[in-house]
Structures are given as structure tokens and as C-alpha cells.
Structure 1
Amino acid sequence: MPAVEQHPSAVIIGAGHAGVQAAESLRESGWAGRIVLIGEERHAPYQRPPLSKDYLAPGQAAEPLPLRAASFFEQHRIELRVDAEVASIDRRSRSVQLSDGEQVPFSKLVIATGASNRMLDVPGSTLSGIVGLKTLDDAVHLRGILEPSRNIVVVGAGFIGLEFASAARAMGKNVTVLEFSARPMSRALSPAMGDFFARQHLDNGVGLRLGEGIASFSGDEDGNVVTAVSTSGARYPADLVVVGVGVAPNISLAQAAGLEVENGIVVDHALRTLDPDIYAVGDCASFPNPSGAGRIRLESVQNATDQAKHAAHQIVGATEARYEPVPWFWSIQGGLRLQIAGLSAPGNNCVLRGEPGSGRFSVFCFDGETLVAVESVNKPADHVAARKILDQGTNPTPEQCGDTGYDLKSLAKALALAE
């Protein structure tokens, strides 16, 4: 028997939410061999969602929230390598090579490399004061330059951009958001919900410019950004520019190792790549769409942790199963907590439940007569019920969902009791 099988070793590339969960779930599922968790950042694993919200608020602690306690990794016999870059994956020798030349052998490999911010390619985009927000180092840098900034331009009205815009407005900053689409968060939300958030940000004093992308930036003699020019030709003063125009999956290691890629690292229903000993999870993984044809790649903490758990169970020899949990997402923008269950699509029939003017309502999205997604604002009970209903495949009618007298909670509770 090969030595690698006599001394099984699981290597995980990436120490974010997916990587840490994979290591924890492997150990808890009975993996007795070595576990090596390799993180490129110099920090111990930390929670990413607060970086665009709470971490930037005045008076907040400078230290991020850890993903696990400092003692966790030793207690679970997980070798955590921080500030360590994987240079290549050698499938023939079953090892990964670090940038310092060290070879780390594996019998099972989990790729959890996540995604990186997309960069702007317009004149002036390399000026000082134009930043992205993805990592703790990004947030530390942004936190340091945010306080003295007065006029802030945000490029992109996605979750990160609008979360940051809300935090900056709470600090009294002048904020302009440039969004090329006709409504904010257009890839993720129904038109009704997108329009609601547009009104809320405008009412909060955000200069939300829809239908305007970024054309160029101009700077001063010291190389600092001073103006953002939109595709309409409008010029906006800018001491600081935060770019949030989406992310691209980190696939270079997998691609160089001969693994298939397609808007992410291609995996099957069990999250295996074409190499049966190599899995990919989280933001970097392209997996079969459970609800239809094609493949999808999801960027959420829930997907990252659920996929990591699923892959770990497959690795330790649990009965092979398909990965198909109902996806869910959240965003906190000022006093609004947005929660989404399922995946909507353009052309869905959307049914309103509740009154948007109250700041507490939901939108139920149907593909024909089939419920596919529910978007809720400050209605956690609707969100919890929706996740249960979608998970069970139960299908209330559009009329029932639009009727606030129809008890969704009881339906969800009945489904739970039937399990």
C-alpha cells in the first residue's frame, strides 16, 4: 500500500469560512489522519461579513471576530499554516508545493480558495484612494482612510457597496453610489425589492446614481483621487473611492493542475473534481444546479460552510449524497436586515406579502406556480418559514403567500414535525 495511504493526510487550501469548516467537519466526522489547513493571509481565520458593516463603525474594536477560538486548532489536531502560499498542486505525487519550496503530501485535497475582487480598468483606476473591500487587510486600510474622508464614491450597488455606503452615511459622510444597472443588487433581487432599497438609500441621503457606470478618475499632483467621472459625463468629488463590482473565483491553482474550470472549479453533485481525491468548496466551486439545468457558483457564508460539511462527509466515506441545500443569504444595510432564501430569476412572478412602507415585508418569487425564492426585510419569521418550505418542496400558492392572514409559520412547523 502506498505510504500516503498508510498515513492519510487531508490538505485544505484556503483558511476562510469554507476551509475552516472543512477542517472541523473532517475531524468531527472521524478523519483520524493529518489535517493541514493552509491560509495565504497572515491573520488567523476571521469572520468576513462584519468587515463591510460593524468593523468600520466608530468605536468598534480594531480586532476582527475570529472564526474559531485560538485553542480550537490545537484541540482538533489541525495544523494551521498562515501566511503560506500554495505555488502548485502536483496530482502525480499527491502533494502541494508551497512558495518556500516545502512539499505537503495529501491523500485527499480540498480547494477552498474563494474569490478575489474584480478590478476596474478605466483611466485613473490606479490612483491612491481607490480601494476594494474583501480581506481584513483591505478593511484595516479602509478604516484608516475613512475617518478623514468627506466625499466618498462607491462603484457598484451590490451587497458590499451598499453595506459600506450605509456605514459611511452613519458616519456623516457624503456618499455617491454609481451603478450601471437600472436598480441596486439587480443580480440578486426582484425588481420590487430592488426598488424598495433604492428608495431607502435615497431617503437616507445616499446619492444613488442608477444607470451610471464609472468612466474614469482624475487625481491631484500627488497621485490621490479627487474626482470620479461617470459614463453620463457627470463629475463627482471623491476623497475616497470604494470599488464593489463583483468577484472572480480563484481558479489558477486548479487550472494549472489540469482540473476543469467553468466560472469556478467544476465539481459534481458530491463536490468532487474530475480527480476523485480532490474536492472544491465555497466561492470557487462551480456545481450542478439542484433546481435545474446548468451549473451555478454561489458566494455566501452558508454555501461555503454547507459545502465544506458535505465534502468532509464524502471524504470520510459517508454514503454518497448530492449537495442540494436551499441557498440563503443576508445583508444588513442601516436599519434594514435583508434575508433571502432560494434563487430568483428574471421573469419570476413576484407576490408581495406585507406593506413596504412599514419596513417589514417579504416578496415571494414564483417560476410559474412553483415557489423558488423569498426575499424578506425585517421579517425573520417569514425567512425561517421560507427556508423550511423551500427545503421540503412544498408549494403554497401565490394567493396564499400574498395573504398576510395565511399562516406560513404553521405550515413550516407542520413540515418540521413531519420529518
Structure 2
Amino acid sequence: MDTEQTFVIVGAGLAGAKAAEALRTEGFPGRIVLLGQEPERPYERPPLSKDYLQGKSERGTIYVHPKSWYADHGVDLRTSTTVTAIDPSTHRVTLAVGDPVTYDKLLLATGASPRQLSVPGADRHRVYHLRRIEDCEQLKFAFTTASRVVIVGAGWIGLEVAAAARAAGLEVIVLERGELPLLHVLGREAAELFARLHRNHGVDLRLGARVAKITGDDPRQATGVQLEDGSRIEADLVVVGVGAVPNTALAEAAGLVVDNGVVVDEHLRSSDPDIYAAGDVANAFHLMLGEHNRIEHWFNALSQPAVAARSMLGVDAAYDEVPYFYSDQYELGMEYSGHVAPGGCDEVVFRGDKDALECIVFWLKDQRVLAGMNVNVWDQTDTIKALVRSGQPVDTAALADTGTPLADVLAAAGTRTAQ
């Protein structure tokens, strides 16, 4: 490997930092330039809506590496640095301030940004989104001065913020356009668990609610929400959690193929052979699923960079990890392994006591496990992932029976296949 080669990573979040780490682990001797728009060194985002938001963990715990790690490993980390253009023809990255950087290989790890609420008043003061550490700090402070919060959107971020707000003693109203929270992700049976959980903790969960505008007596300050049915809800602050959009502007301007993210193959290589993408911005072909997917979860940002790094080094590597994410809300902790497209399953199997929130939920198609979510049931993730990866029909009665170990269900599926 040429020690004079320069690999540039655009985006200094978890994916960018892990890619730099993987390049050094794989023995890359050249120059690594890690460019981040935020003033902070790379950090992990899940704590921003979980423990750190609730004050249960210290700021120092969120960072990917110690401060000295980048210099110690020869990584040229540049924070507060905005990339304005990428020119594949000259292999050059243009910066808002400073000289351009020339690359041999480039990784896009630009992540995603919160989706904005397209209603009047959405830009008022005290309307919050949660993506960056500065957002979290502002929201933590706002919790200390408010008594009532309206949360628009009952996705993972919205529900985790609701749990944090209730822990802070706030009155919480959650507005969700759909019939249930997380309906498009979990389906009706499992979504009902989360609706009941939040209502049991005093959340005013309003379903089928459509926001018409953010209201306020002061032209700049939000003091509530008006719904399309004309009703008004007063609040001290509004939190918007209606999804995220991939940060693809640089890729589009560079002429890369973009479709709900930067389109990459199983090696995480884009339409340009010297440009790769990983994390929230990557719409990657998944060998196990047999399709492209862009998955906005911590595990992808953690795991994809190692594959991208090896591919950049010319090693034949492919990303085929079983999709995974987790959430913590009140006393509920869950892990989800697998992937189910909306309407993609024909059976849902519960194993355990769903009323006590100690169960595993399985989504199946033709008796094959597509995904499993363990709720307050631990040390089962590896077996759930193996069931998903096997792609073999299972005995659904045994799957539901807590007296039958999951490992036995998996082994039986393999035995039937071999016969």
C-alpha cells in the first residue's frame, strides 16, 4: 500500500470515526483526513434521546474515541469544517474555509438531518429537533423551565423524548398522524404495546392528529399547536420528531447515483469507483435481504464502516449484518433484529407475557422469521439473528412456547431442512 495515499472521510460522526479506526486496524499506512461540520469530535447519537437527555450519563461517555486518539493514530481530524463540493474528476474536496484536499479514496459518512415540519410557525423559537449534541443540551435546559411539552411524531425519537420529558416531570402530549405509534415499523400488534406503555405513564397520546400550524402570541415564540380540526393545544415547547432525510447534497452535486440516500453496492461502493458511503446516508444493497435498504440506526453506523474501509483497501468485503436497533423507554428495554417491509409479514407470534412487557415478538412470512423484537428479555439477540438469517420455516407453536428454548427452534428448523 502506497504510504502517500490520502483517504478522505466526509462526516465526523460515529460512521466516520469507525471508518478511520478500521483503516488503521486494517493496516492502512497513508494519510487519513476526517472532516466534520460540527465543533465536537465524533460522538454517538443514541444517548441524546436516552440516558444523556435524562441526565443519567456524563457528556464524556458519548464520544467514540478519547480526544487524543486521533493524533495518536495519525488521523487528521478537522472539526467545524464544511465541505462545499466534491469533484470526482480531479479527486478534490473543496472546503468553505481552507485549501482543497485531494483524495485517492473517499468515504461519505454525512448522515441524515431531521425532517422539518412543513407548517406555518415551524421555525419559531422553542420548536426543537433532536439530532446534534447542541440540540440535546438545549432540550435538557428547556425541560427545566417548562411544565408542558407537545411532541409531534410518535416514532422512536418522539417516544424516547416523551419518556425523558415524563422523567423530568413534564406534562406530555404526543401527536401522531397514524392510528398507532410505530405502526409502519412494528405493525398493529406490537405498536399497541407502546401506545399502552406511554398512556400508562401519563402521556396524552393523540392518534390521527394532524398539525396545521405552530402557534404563539409572540411572532417568534411557540406557545402551542393548532390541529387541522381547529383544536389548539397550549405548550411551553414543541419537539418535532417526524423522521430524517439523508444528507445527499454533496453526492448529488458530484454526479453520484442518489435514491433515498447514496446508492452503494454490497461493498459500500458508489457509482464512482473511488467513492464509498456508510451509515445513515448509504442506501446499500443487502445480500441477505436481496434489496437496497437505507437504515437509520446506530448499528449500521457502527458496523458498515469496517466493510467500507476494507473495500477502500481493495479487500473483497460485503455488508450483510442482520439489521439491528434498540430503544429504552421507562422500564421497557427492547432490541429489534431483522427487517420487515410494511405489509411484508403474514403472521405475528408472541412468546412470553406481552401484558407484563416481558416477551419476544416475531414477524414471519411463510413460517420464516423475518424479524424478532425482544422486550425486557435478554441474551436472546444472537439466536434471534440466527433465526432471521437461516431463512428456514420454523414450528410456530414451538416459537411461541417459552418452555422450548429458541436454540431448539433454530436447530429443529435446520433439521427439517436437511431432511
TM range (shorter): over 0.9
1:190–1:344 contact (8 Å) kept in structure 2: no
Which of residues 352, 372, 375 is equivalent to 1:374? 372
Give 2:416's aligned residue: none
How far apart are the structure 1 equivalents of 2:240 and 2:269?
Answer: 33
Give 2:204's aligned residue: 207
Please report how far the alpha carbon of residue 187 of structure 1 lies from its aligned counterpart in structure 2 after TM superposition: 2.7
Give 2:14's aligned residue: 17
2:84–2:95 contact (8 Å) kept in structure 1: yes
How far apart are the structure 2 equivalents of 1:198 and 1:343?
Answer: 21
1:96–1:104 contact (8 Å) kept in structure 2: yes
Is 1:51 paired with 2:48?
A: yes
Give 2:363's aligned residue: 365
Within-5 A mapping of 1:4-403 = 7-58=4-55, 61=58, 65-221=62-218, 223-292=220-289, 294-318=291-315, 320-347=316-343, 348=345, 349-403=347-401
Please report how far the alpha carbon of residue 314 of structure 1 lies from its aligned counterpart in structure 2 after TM superposition: 1.3
What RMSD, in angstroms, separates the aligned Cα atoms of the two structures? 2.1
Change (3 A) 1:398 1:253: same
Please report how far the alpha carbon of residue 119 of structure 1 lies from its aligned counterpart in structure 2 after TM superposition: 0.5
Which of residues 404, 407, 415 is equivalent to 2:405? 407
Which amino acid counterpart does residue 351 of structure 1 have in structure 2?
Answer: V
Structure 2 unaligned spans of 5+:
414-419
How far apart are the structure 2 equivalents of 1:16 and 1:379?
Answer: 30
Which amino acid counterpart does residue 288 of structure 1 have in structure 2?
Answer: F
SS at match of 1:362: strand
2:11–2:34 contact (8 Å) kept in structure 1: yes
SS at match of 1:147: helix
Please report how far the alpha carbon of residue 56 of structure 1 lies from its aligned counterpart in structure 2 after TM superposition: 2.1
How far apart are the structure 2 equivalents of 1:156 and 1:53?
Answer: 17
Which amino acid counterpart does residue 180 of structure 1 have in structure 2?
Answer: R
> Once structures 1 and 2 are overlaid, which stretch shifts more, 215-224 or 237-246?
215-224
How far apart are the structure 1 equivalents of 2:151 and 2:61?
Answer: 23
1:193–1:375 contact (8 Å) kept in structure 2: no
Please report how far the alpha carbon of residue 5 of structure 1 lies from its aligned counterpart in structure 2 after TM superposition: 6.3
SS at match of 1:56: coil
1:370–1:395 contact (8 Å) kept in structure 2: yes
How far apart are the structure 2 equivalents of 1:21 and 1:6?
Answer: 21
Which amino acid counterpart does residue 398 of structure 2 have in structure 1?
Answer: Q
Q: TM-score, normalised by structure 1?
A: 0.93
How far apart are the structure 2 equivalents of 1:388 and 1:357?
Answer: 26
Please report how far the alpha carbon of residue 392 of structure 1 lies from its aligned counterpart in structure 2 after TM superposition: 4.2
How far apart are the structure 2 equivalents of 1:83 and 1:323?
Answer: 31
Deviation string 1:324-375 (CA, Å, 9 cap, x unpaired) is 1101010111110121000123331101111112221011110122111001
Which amino acid counterpart does residue 133 of structure 1 have in structure 2?
Answer: L
How far apart are the structure 2 equivalents of 1:192 and 1:337?
Answer: 18
Please report how far the alpha carbon of residue 38 of structure 1 lies from its aligned counterpart in structure 2 after TM superposition: 0.7
1:382–1:409 contact (8 Å) kept in structure 2: no
> Once structures 1 and 2 are overlaid, which stretch shifts more, 226-235 or 154-163?
226-235
Q: TM-score, normalised by structure 2?
A: 0.93
Which amino acid counterpart does residue 338 of structure 2 have in structure 1?
Answer: G
Change (3 A) 1:398 1:180: same
Please report how far the alpha carbon of residue 279 of structure 1 lies from its aligned counterpart in structure 2 after TM superposition: 0.3
Please report how far the alpha carbon of residue 205 of structure 1 lies from its aligned counterpart in structure 2 after TM superposition: 0.2
Structure 1 unaligned spans of 5+:
none
How far apart are the structure 2 equivalents of 1:293 and 1:6?
Answer: 37
SS at match of 2:223: strand
1:124–1:216 contact (8 Å) kept in structure 2: yes
Please report how far the alpha carbon of residue 64 of structure 1 lies from its aligned counterpart in structure 2 after TM superposition: 5.7
1:362–1:382 contact (8 Å) kept in structure 2: no
